[in-house]
């Protein structure tokens, strides 16, 4: 739309084509009665005092509106920032010893980050998050498509390359799950907000295992539900191609499904964990010792086969957790329980 045709159209028509322009008009103090006015009529009716408060001249309004629409359309059509690979270039450990690694990760890669408490797992995730360039305590560098990222990538907001899901997630907004998801979908300029909200919500409920409702206030969600909601949100809505997860074991989330979901979206996933089942879900694991990557272990076929069997043990343990959660006693025969576990494991190994 040219500047000229834009200012002669009615605000109502413009909002049908570009719903996000509502924010622009609201800032200028649009009363709902003015929606049937042409854009230029509305611009002419804005008081000089309001323009002075906003630091704008009347002549600037039309070009500003056009630039705003162009920028929003660009965001809408550009979609996710794309990355073919990231390269992690070693820095040094806590004693200053060099970390001799150069690790390339591609979309769909899941890498676990393992190591004792305090060894530096979170530091590694933080280095990826800030796209470190030798400027963090570990002196690591992160390259995007083989190059140092350029400054435009530190824009933040929704075009961010990296999404982080951390263990401590507290909502501070007093809104319902529906409002929270709608706001996010709106800010991502999603066309069909209701379907996006439904999709994220049903995925989150599946992951959480414990049902909640669309009108539940986000502040009333349990730790596991909040985490499930954020994982579903990142998987279904976030444009970020890199996802960092700091521990999902204690959150009552179906961890396997959560990871599968992220992998299907062709994200690069780095997952710090102490849990053997999660660690084995990655194609490889980075072993952190004293602040440095001490080893890189590729998950072997034997480990994958073991994981399959251990998962059936885990499902049996999940039944126990459920019983405890529902206030039941754990009075069962241990021998029977173990032979049940083994039988399931053998069955799943044959599938
Ligand atoms: N290479 C390094 N050089 C200097 N300091 C480091 C390095 N790696 C980690 N650290 C520092 O060591 C401390 C512990 O690291 P971090 O919190 O990453 O450990 P962690 O493995 O995530 O621990 P936890 O399992 O308890 O979450 C932090 O202060 C971190 O900044």
Is residue 105 within 8 Å of residue 285, measured between CB atoms? no
As a whole number of angstroms, the distance between CA 7 and CA 29 comes to 17
Residue 275 lies in a domain: yes
Range of the domain at 25: 3-78
> What spacing in Å lies between the alpha carbon of 232 and ligand 1's midpoint?
28
Residue 60 lies in a domain: yes
> What spacing in Å lies between the alpha carbon of 254 and ligand 1's midpoint?
27
139 and 94, same structural domain?
yes
Tally Cβ neighbours within 10 Å of residue 327: 6
ipTM beyond 0.95?
yes
295 and 313, same structural domain?
no
Residue 261 lies in a domain: yes
Q: Is 312 in the pocket of ligand 1 (CB under 6 A)?
A: no
Of the candidates 296, 288, 339, which has an alpha carbon nearest to the alpha carbon of residue 114?
A: 288
230 and 145, same structural domain?
yes
Q: Is 140 in the pocket of ligand 1 (CB under 6 A)?
A: no
Protein residue closest via CA to atom 12 of ligand 1: 120
> What spacing in Å lies between the alpha carbon of 93 and ligand 1's midpoint?
10
Domain count, the chain: 3
147 and 67, same structural domain?
no
215 and 331, same structural domain?
no
Q: pTM of the entire structure?
A: 0.72
Residue where a domain terminates, one of 48, 78, 108:
78
115 and 228, same structural domain?
yes
pLDDT tens digit at each of 351 positions of the chain? 566 778 888 888 888 888 778 777 877 777 766 788 888 888 888 888 888 877 788 888 888 888 888 777 766 666 556 788 999 999 999 999 999 999 999 988 999 999 999 999 999 999 998 899 999 999 999 999 998 887 555 544 444 688 877 666 666 667 899 998 988 888 777 778 888 898 888 888 877 877 889 999 988 888 778 888 888 888 887 778 888 888 765 556 677 777 777 777 778 989 898 888 888 888 999 999 999 999 999 999 999 888 888 888 877 887 887 788 789 998 888 888 888 888 877 776 666
Q: Is 267 in the pocket of ligand 1 (CB under 6 A)?
A: no
> What spacing in Å lies between the alpha carbon of 246 and ligand 1's midpoint?
13
Residue 350 lies in a domain: no
271 and 243, same structural domain?
yes
> What spacing in Å lies between the alpha carbon of 137 and ligand 1's midpoint?
9
């Amino acid at each position: 739309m040219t500047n000229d045709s834009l200012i002669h159209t009615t605000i109502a028509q413009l909002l049908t084509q570009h719903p996000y322009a509502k924010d622009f008009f609201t800032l200028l103090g649009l009363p709902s009665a003015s929606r049937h006015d042409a854009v230029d009529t509305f611009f002419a009716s804005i008081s000089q005092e309001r323009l002075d408060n906003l630091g704008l001249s009347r002549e600037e309004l039309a070009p500003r509106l056009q630039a705003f629409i162009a920028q929003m359309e660009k965001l809408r059509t550009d979609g996710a920032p794309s990355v073919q690979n990231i390269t992690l270039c070693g820095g040094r450990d806590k004693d200053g010893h060099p970390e001799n690694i150069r690790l390339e990760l591609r979309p769909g890669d899941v890498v676990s980050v393992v190591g004792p408490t305090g060894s530096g797992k979170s530091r590694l995730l933080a280095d990826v998050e800030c796209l470190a360039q030798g400027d963090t305590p570990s002196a690591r560098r992160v390259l995007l498509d083989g190059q140092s990222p350029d400054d435009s990538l530190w824009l933040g907001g929704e075009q961010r390359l990296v999404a982080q899901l951390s263990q401590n997630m507290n909502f501070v907004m007093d809104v319902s799950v529906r409002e929270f998801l709608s706001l996010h979908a709106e800010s991502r300029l999603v066309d069909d907000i209701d379907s996006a909200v439904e999709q994220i919500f049903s995925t989150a409920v599946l992951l959480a295992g414990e049902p909640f409702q669309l009108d539940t206030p986000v502040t009333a969600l349990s730790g596991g539900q909040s985490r499930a909601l954020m994982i579903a949100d990142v998987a279904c809505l976030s444009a970020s191609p890199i996802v960092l997860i700091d521990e999902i074991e204690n959150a009552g989330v179906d961890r396997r499904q959560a990871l599968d979901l992220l992998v299907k979206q062709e994200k690069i996933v780095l997952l710090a964990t102490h849990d053997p089942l999660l660690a084995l879900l990655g194609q490889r694991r980075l072993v952190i010792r004293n602040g440095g990557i001490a080893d890189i272990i590729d998950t072997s076929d034997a480990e994958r086969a073991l994981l399959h069997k251990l998962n059936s043990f885990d499902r049996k343990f999940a039944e126990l957790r459920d019983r405890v959660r529902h206030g039941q006693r754990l009075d069962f025969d241990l021998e029977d329980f173990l032979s049940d576990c083994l039988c399931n494991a053998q069955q799943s190994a044959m599938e």
